[in-house]
Every structure is written in C-alpha cells, then in structure tokens.
Amino acid sequence: MKVEIEDLEKIKFFEKFTEQQLETIASISSVREFAVKEIIFEQYDELKDIFVLLQGSMSLGISLPKDKRIHLGTIEEGQLFSWSAIFPPFISTAWVMAITPAKVIAIDARKLNAEIEKDCDFGFKTMSKIAQTISHRLSDTRFQLMNQLNL
Amino acid sequence: MTDNTNIYKPLRAKLTEVVEESPLIKTFVLIPEREFIFSTGQFIELSVDGVGEAPFTPSSSPLVTDKLEVTVMKTGYVTNIMHELKPGAVMGIRGPYGRGYPVKSFEGKEVLILGGGCGLAPIRSLLFTLEHMKDKLDKVILCYGSKSPTDCIYKPLFSRLNSIDKFEAYRTVDKAEDGWDGPVGVATSLLDKIKVKIENSVAVVCGPPIMMKFGTIRILEMGYRDDQIYLSMEKNMSCGLGKCGHCMMGEFFVCKDGPVFTYKEIKHNPEIWK
C-alpha cells in the first residue's frame, strides 16, 4: 500500500522534514498491516525495513533461553522501531509483536541509507531522530533497571 | 492550622475510613477537630500518639476543609503502625507547612504532570485543584507509571480524568501482569506520545527520586525551560519550621522553602537527586 505525504506529516518523527524530503521517504516506503499477535520480526532476525507505527500498538521484548519472552515496552503510534535495520550488521536487538491490529510505515532501509548518504540535511534529520529514539530506549532501560533493583 | 499557643501541638483528627490502594499503600480519611486549610503541594506531619510522626502531602482537595485524605506507603516503623490503624482511631496533624504549587501562575497554560509510584498522592490533590480551575487552563495531561498494575494507586482516577474536558490521563507499568492490556514501560516512555505546546506550558514532576531525575531530564529534552518545571521534593522533613535541619538541601530547608521548587532554583544543588 502506498504511503501518502499526509500520513507522514501527522507523525512527530517527521515534523522537521521538508515536503521534498517527505516525498523521498514516501517513495521508498509502503504501508503494511499486522494482525493481533503477529510477529513483525524476531530478535536476531536480519532486518530490511525501519518501521514507524501508524495505528495500533506493539510489544517490544527480548527472548531468553527456554523460549521465555520478556515484554520490555510498548510501542505507541508515531514511534519508530527496527532502527537496527540501518546499522551494520542489520540484526534486530529485540522482537516486536502486534498487540492490537496495527498499521505501520515500512521504510526500505537500504534505500534510506542511500538517501542519507546523498543528502546531508536529510541524513542529519533522520540520524538525529534515530539517535533520539535510541537515547530514549537507553535512558528508559536504565530507569527500568534501577526500579527493578530498587535503587 | 496548628494551635497558636504551641507550634508543635497537633490538631486531633478522627480516622473515619481506610482505603487499601495497593498492598503497601493505604489512604486515611480523617476528620479534623476543626477546619483544616492547606494549599495543594504543602505538607503536613501526621502522627500517632506515643509512636511518632512522619511528613505527607495530603492527597485530597484543598477545597474541602472539613475532611483530609492522606495516602501512606508502608516504609518504616511509624508507617507500619499507621497501616494497622482502624476507623475510629485518633491521629494528629501538624501544619500545613512549606510552599505548594503556584497554581495561579498555571492559568492560561497547559499543565503536564509526570508521576510515579506513591508520587501520585500529592498529584491527586493538585488534580482536584486544576479540575476546579479548568476553565482557566488550556489542558492538563497526566503521565503516570507504577511498577505493576497492582501497585497503581487511585485506579478509578484515570477513567474519571479522561472523562473531564481538557484532561488526558495515561498510565503505564514497568512489568505487566495477567489481565493488563495497557502500555508497558517506565513513566517517561509516555512522554513520547503526548502533544503539548511547550512554550505555553508548565511541567510538574513528583515521584521516587530516580523517576524525578530521569523525568526531569526527559522534560528538559522536550524543550521545557528549567523555570517551567516544578519538582515536589521529599527530603525527610521533620520540624516543618526550618529549625531542625533534617531536610536541608544546600541553602534550602525543604520544609520551609519547598517542598515545591522550580528546577531552576535547585538544579545546581548537589543533593537534588539524593
């Protein structure tokens, strides 16, 4: 399904992008839908797309030995996930599963990397947003760790 | 107010109801022997005769002066004994003390409130105040996190707030339990989903020190200035009068100069997150 510029304009992640840059993103993206409990990707899967959640919510977690799955956080509308898709070795650090019917924008990571190399301004905006996402995850994980340790 | 003849003499208050909020937290509904006036965010010393006293910020509306609600977490000797009390018991109240939230200055603004754990107690009082003045506010957003769904206090509060015009309330848990279908993650993770006009907004942070620290950093990152952020500090307040020094935080006595401070006032204080 084709991505409309209007869809991208509503998302906080893209708020500083120009119309032309949004057109670039739309041209390398598609809309995908997932059913409840559908796995978007498993931990250690090779990733080809970076996702932004349009509708619904998703669970993000890690797998432990003996098929134990730990739910670490919820991905809400407008949030980015699967950032590992643009950094070598392109292997996911977590699994993601739909917990409601969900609609996502899937951006082709290889093409996105090519656009980042081509256009510095586009690259800076994209990388700033991805860095912010990773920074929030790290900060939340530290906070969660301290809570669990009762520090 | 406390008896003028002796600033340490508590006002008597009859315990009429005990509400179990979570396994470790109870709300005590008290009827003071006479009208008790406080501002939202101010604290009191609540006592049990022959046992001791401890500081709490009332969780009830400051507009109600003949009844006071205090939410108490079981954390030590005095609070353990408080948790054993039954309706009919008599407790003591000293105060109110300190500086509360400058709610008048919130008029015309959006108020973002970030809370965690038992920090929802003072926030509840603030929410009652904001509800009363909602016509003068743009929006009120509550983001609250608890360790688990069982640990979440005032559960009916969230649906009630979401039914009030201009109010939005979100909650999350660090760890889900069976039957929980809401978000999982720390309180700060809720800040990614909300929309606020930061230039015309104030933020209030109240909760355990670790949440206050991570929450304040995230709110600063959102673009709030340090004078737009209000922190409710809990620092072992004892006398309530700035005399005993138990609650000293650098140049401030938290009991007298606080417990509500702007981040700007205390950001350089080395004891801020301790």
Q: What is the mean pLDDT of residues B70-96?
A: 93
Q: What is the mean pLDDT of residues B84-91?
A: 94
**How many Cβ atoms are within 10 Å of B129's Cβ, its own excluded?**
20
Q: What is the pLDDT of residue B240?
A: 85
Selection from B130, B115, B107 nearest residue B212 by Cα: B115
Contacts of A111 (CB under 8 A, 6+ apart): A28
Residue indicated by tokens 């950093």? B217
Q: Which residue of B has its CA nearest to A135?
A: B218
Instruction: Give the CATH fold of the A5-148 domain.
Output: Jelly Rolls (2.60.120)
Record: contact B185-A79, CB cut-off 8 A? no
Please report residues of B whose CB lies closer than 8 A to that of A75: none
Q: Is the dihedral of CA A50, B185, B272, B204 positive or negative?
A: positive
**pLDDT above 80 for B148:** yes
Record: contact B192-A78, CB cut-off 8 A? yes
Q: Give the best residue of B168, B173, B178, B186 to mutate against chain A (max A CB count within 10 A).
A: B186
In the beta sheet, which residues pair with residue A63? A69
Whether the CB of B218 is below 8 Å from some CB of chain A: the reply is: yes
Selection from A92, A111, A77 nearest residue A43 by Cα: A92
Question: Higher pLDDT residue, B241 or B173?
Answer: B173
**pLDDT above 80 for B7:** no
pLDDT per residue as tens digits for the range A30-61: 999 999 999 999 999 999 999 999 999 999 99
Q: How confident is the model at residue B95 (pLDDT cuts 50, 70, 90)?
A: confident
**pLDDT above 90 for B251:** no
What mean pLDDT value characterizes chain B? 91
Partner residue opposite B186 with nearest CB, options A78, A79, A144: A144
CA of B113 vs chain A CAs: smallest distance (Å): 18
- Cα–Cα dist B54/B237, whole Å: 8
pLDDT per residue as tens digits for the range B193-223: 888 999 999 999 999 888 999 999 999 999 9
Whether the CB of B197 is below 8 Å from some CB of chain A: the reply is: no
Selection from A21, A10, A32 nearest residue A126 by Cα: A21
What mean pLDDT value characterizes chain A? 92
- Cα–Cα dist A132/A135, whole Å: 5
How many Cβ contacts (< 8 angstroms) between chains A and B? 56
**pLDDT above 80 for A87:** yes
Q: How confident is the model at residue B38 (pLDDT cuts 50, 70, 90)?
A: very high
User: The whole model's pTM is what?
Assistant: 0.85
pLDDT per residue as tens digits for the range B165-185: 999 999 999 888 888 888 998
**pLDDT above 80 for B270:** no
Question: Higher pLDDT residue, B160 or B271?
Answer: B160
Q: What is the mean pLDDT of residues A137-151?
A: 84
Is-contact B36 B119, C-beta < 8 A? Answer: no
Q: What is the pLDDT of residue A1?
A: 80
Q: What is the mean pLDDT of residues B68-78?
A: 93
Please report residues of A whose CB lies closer than 8 A to that of B174: 144, 147-148
Token readout for B30 is 């008290």
Is-contact B229 B221, C-beta < 8 A? Answer: no
DSSP string, B220-235: HHHT--GGGEEEE---
Token readout for A92 is 């996911």
- For residue A49, what is the enclosing H or E element? strand A49-55
Q: What is the pLDDT of residue B193?
A: 81
Q: Domain ranges for chain A, please list them.
A: 5-148
Q: Domain ranges for chain B, please list them.
A: 11-96, 103-232
Partner residue opposite A147 with nearest CB, options B174, B184, B218: B174
Please report residues of B whose CB lies closer than 8 A to that of A74: 172, 182-185, 189
Please report residues of B whose CB lies closer than 8 A to that of A57: 183
Record: contact B183-A140, CB cut-off 8 A? no
Sheet holding B43-48, edge to edge: B52-56, B43-48, B90-97, B11-22, B25-32, B68-73
Whether the CB of B274 is below 8 Å from some CB of chain A: the reply is: no
Q: Is the dihedral of CA B116, B118, B120, B123 positive or negative?
A: negative
Class of the CATH-defined domain B103-232: alpha beta
- Cα–Cα dist B93/B53, whole Å: 9
Please report residues of A whose CB lies closer than 8 A to that of B181: 99
| CB under 8 A, 24+ apart: contacts of A136-141 | A136/B188, A136/B189, A136/B192, A136/B218, A137/A73, A139/B188, A139/B214, A139/B217, A139/B218, A140/A73, A140/B185, A140/B186, A140/B188, A140/B189, A140/B214, A141/A72
**pLDDT above 70 for A18:** yes
Record: contact B184-A74, CB cut-off 8 A? yes
State whether residue B114 is helix, strand or coil: strand
**pLDDT above 70 for B67:** yes
- Cα–Cα dist A60/A37, whole Å: 12
State whether residue B263 is helix, strand or coil: helix
In the beta sheet, which residues pair with residue B68? B30
Class of the CATH-defined domain B11-96: mainly beta
Record: contact B183-A71, CB cut-off 8 A? no
Q: What is the pLDDT of residue B4?
A: 54
Q: What is the pLDDT of residue B267?
A: 87
Partner residue opposite A146 with nearest CB, options B181, B182, B210: B210
Q: What is the pLDDT of residue B162?
A: 93
Q: Which of A70-74, B88-92, B136-140 has the lowest mean pLDDT?
A: A70-74
